[in-house]
A and B are shown apart, each in its own frame.
Chain A
Amino acid sequence: MGAKVNPQKTKLGQNAEAEALFMSIGEGAFVTDSNARISRVNQTALRILGFSEKELLGKWFPEAILAEDEQGNPLNSIDRPMGQAFLTGNTVSARTYYRRKDGTRVPVFLTVSPVMLDSKPIGAIEVFRDISTELALERAKDEFVAIASHQLRTPATAVKQYVGLLLEGYSDPITANQRLFLERAYESNERQLQIVQEILKVTKLDLEKVVLNLETYDIRHIVSQAIATVKSSFDTNQQKIVIKEPDEPLMAKVDSDQLRAAIENLLENASNYTWPGKTIAVSSRRLKDRVRIAIKDEGVGIEAQDFPKLFQKFSRIPNPLSVEVSGTGLGLYWAARIIHLHGGYIHVASTAGRGSTFTINLPDPL
């Protein structure tokens, strides 16, 4: 016969074990109750933020743990990851900045989930870690890439000038074969410069050296300008472009140059990954809380498992046209970052073999 089990003792044992497990988590952890008050905090969280347990327990989470964006603007409660977790009912992961007790900032990567009891939400649990070292490494890498790219650009530009001079006949006469080879060298050099330029553009963004020049613009005009720029690509690929826009002005506060470039990027992408003869539709409209620009193609589409790679740096996704499309894999990353800087986001819906819709969502301040 087995030993008699005291249910009360077992329960106490389980509680103690749960408490010990929580306190031993190697990352910072908070638990909040249904009134957003901190009901538990572990040692790692206290160490990262410099508070004592007494200073946090029972305190209102949004006030006790101040969260900020990269620029140091306080996040309002509903935009905090915890607010998003309550709004969606799902686990939310995000990078943000917390203020320590001494007022200094610490970058953190956190994951927050609603705590469910009998299918009812009763609070939240948040786990976070200090990512200062990771960010410093990332920054050092970005700076290295920026310097290397800049150094590469100067000699590459000189090559372009000299090859150009040879082609223009500023030296001795060249044979037809020499011209062919020089033209190929010139084209490759142009491509090389374009890649360096794209890397520099992305690095500048990563190093937070891009400052938006926000002004109120009619989004319809920006979309028209972007379409005009990419028109030659549509013509070359024999694609039809359909535009749907409201009759009245669609005003939003944006950096028109950066937004236009992001739209151009999505349009070029749509053109590159769509077969000749197909249609690309561009629509813009105002929704209740945002302005939406959608670019819908009838192209190769994206497999579901490739979605997470879409906005990553240097990512190239295999598709039936990938051999025909050249690129650095930086365009979508750059476009997404620019829209994010505007406080918006890009949403993608796609079915492999049937096409994709990339939707730019911009906050509507009007």
Chain B
Amino acid sequence: MGSLSLLDQILEISQDYLGPAAERFIDRQISTHLKKRPEKITRQDIYKLIDWIKLSFALLTNDTDMVEQYAKRLKLVADGKWSEATGKKWAQK
């Protein structure tokens, strides 16, 4: 997982919450809030994006724990702490 791009890491996490809609959801979030192509996303950008993603996702689910968990996982990517090991750990939860 360490070899995955930032975008791939975000998509992999997002698919756990949004399923097949993840790619479109993330594409739209990045292009509208960051005004850049998804593959150009940086760690700094992710910090800016997390709050917007959280707000939009909170409209899709009533489960606040899930919303918080999704945001936390994205923050791990922004912090550079997302790895294969953390991915497996989250998958077991």
- Partner-B contacts on A (CB < 8 A): 34-37, 60-63, 77-78, 80, 82-83, 86-89, 114, 120-124, 288-289
Contacts and interface: CB of A to CB of B under 8 A. Distances in A.
Interface size class of B (residues with CB under 8 A): 10 to 19
Contacts of A36: 55, 58-59
B56 A78 contact: yes
B76 to A, nearest CB: 19
Given A34-B51, A121-B52, A288-B24, A87 B58 contact: no
Contacts of B56: 78, 83, 86-87
Contacts of B52: 86, 89, 121
15 contacts: A34-B54, A36-B58, A60-B62, A62-B62, A77-B59, A78-B56, A78-B60, A82-B59, A86-B55, A87-B56, A89-B32, A121-B52, A121-B55, A124-B55, A288-B24
Contacts of A123: 55
A37 B54 CA distance: 13
Main SS class of interface, A: mixed
Contact of B24 (A37, A80, A86, A289): A289
Interface string B46-81: 000001101110111010100100000000000000
A302 B27 CA distance: 31
B33 interface: yes
B59 A114 contact: no
A364 to B, nearest CB: 11
Which has the most chain B C-beta neighbours within 10 Å: A61, A77, A87, A124? A87
B29 interface: yes
